[in-house]
């Protein structure tokens, strides 16, 4: 497995990470814990060293899963987790909205350390920007955690360029995580140029378009009642039918490369910048191996030009998230 550094930091990780959210939430019922522990350890055996979680996934269950799965190999891996929401510490029920008050951040860090069975969080992201707390205060709180040795690196998720700059001035930001793929290219306008200028790494989540870019979903696909895609405007049957053009493009390139559309979608991301580390999620070993295969695919300048030109003529239908959720992003 190739390695990449997140920006100018000393944080080196596998070129692909593993997003673990879907093992515990968002895509239907939680997967079998024993099987997921085996999958996570299988990822380590195959060279994955970067694992992404959050207290919100479950809530709490995903951090506990990673803590158990990675305990035997803790010194070989990088664990990223997130703070920023209010949950009842006993039940996990959502008790409020966003909360990035410094004292709350420190409390979350202590709880996450216990669930992750570790004495340090390698990368601690603000999950969503809290408009009620100055980002300088957030960065200052994480800076104190770093000085105390409880956190090693600071990250932001779905933050706007101006917020990234303000945070970075207080405590250097190692990585920014946002949705980015061939069908969600918003970061290209302002965020990616800002990260390049400041020497910050970028971690695309949902790099396979919540599964759509794998080519395994069509207008007739049905989802579990608890799957978030049921309320995503981009996953209405009409939008899926219209967006099939993007999958057709990936299939066209994949056929020529002896690859799958998912592999081309990931290879395209890896080709954008050397400091980009996608974190596709899966609950299946064969999909994990398929995703890892993307690191061996080289897209030539001609391939990239073909994808760029063709994608420019495809109008993606539907917002990537429901309006209420979108309001929490890009602040």
Instruction: Give the residue numbers marked as catalytic.
Output: 57
Distance CA 169, CA 140 (A): 10
What is the token pair recorded at 41?
């350890």
Taking the CA atoms of 174, 176, 182 and 186 in sequence, report the sign of the dihedral they define.
Answer: negative
Identify whether the C-beta of residue 83 lies closer than 8 Å to the C-beta of residue 55: yes
Contact 282, 208 (CB under 8 A): no
Other CB atoms within a 10 A radius of the CB of residue 303 amount to 18
Neighbours of 289 (CB within 10 A): 13
How far is 83 from 106, CA to CA, in rounded Å? 9
Given a contact cutoff of 8 angstroms between Cβ atoms, the answer to whether 173 and 164 are in contact is yes
The span from the CA of 167 to the CA of 219, in Å, is: 42
Residue whose C-alpha is closest to residue 261's, from 246, 251, 273, 271: 251
The residue ranges of DSSP E strands in the chain, in sequence order, are: 3-5, 12-14, 18-19, 50-52, 78-83, 85-87, 94-98, 121-126, 151-157, 173-179, 201-205
């Amino acid at each position: 497995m190739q390695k990449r550094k997140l920006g100018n930091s000393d944080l080196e990780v596998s070129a692909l990470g593993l997003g673990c959210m879907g093992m515990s939430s968002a895509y239907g019922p939680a997967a079998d814990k024993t099987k997921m522990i085996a999958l996570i350890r299988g990822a380590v055996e195959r060279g994955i060293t970067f694992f992404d979680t959050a207290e919100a996934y479950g809530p709490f269950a995903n951090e506990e899963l990673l803590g158990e799965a990675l305990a035997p190999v803790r010194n070989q891996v990088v664990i990223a987790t997130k703070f920023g929401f209010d949950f009842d510490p006993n039940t996990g029920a959502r008790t409020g909205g966003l909360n990035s008050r410094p004292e709350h951040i420190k409390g979350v860090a202590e709880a996450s350390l216990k669930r992750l069975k570790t004495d340090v969080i390698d990368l601690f992201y603000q999950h969503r920007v809290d408009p009620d707390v100055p980002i300088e205060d957030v960065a200052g709180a994480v800076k104190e955690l770093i000085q105390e040795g409880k956190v090693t690196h600071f990250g932001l998720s779905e933050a706007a360029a101006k917020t990234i700059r303000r945070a970075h001035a207080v405590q250097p930001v190692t990585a920014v995580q946002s949705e980015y793929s061939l069908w969600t290219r918003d970061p290209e306008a302002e965020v990616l140029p800002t990260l390049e200028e400041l020497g910050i790494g970028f971690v695309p989540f949902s790099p396979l378009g919540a599964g759509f870019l794998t080519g395994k979903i069509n207008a007739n696909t049905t989802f579990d009642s608890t799957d978030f895609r049921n309320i995503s405007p981009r996953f209405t049957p009409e939008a899926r039918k219209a967006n099939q053009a993007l999958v057709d493009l990936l299939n066209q390139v994949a056929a020529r490369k002896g690859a799958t559309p998912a592999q081309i979608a990931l290879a395209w991301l890896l080709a954008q910048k050397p400091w980009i580390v996608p974190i596709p999620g899966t609950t299946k070993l064969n999909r994990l191996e398929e995703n890892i295969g993307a690191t061996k695919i080289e897209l030539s300048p001609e391939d990239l030009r073909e994808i760029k030109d063709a994608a420019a003529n495809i109008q993606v239908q539907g917002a990537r998230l429901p309006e209420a959720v979108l309001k929490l992003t890009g602040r």
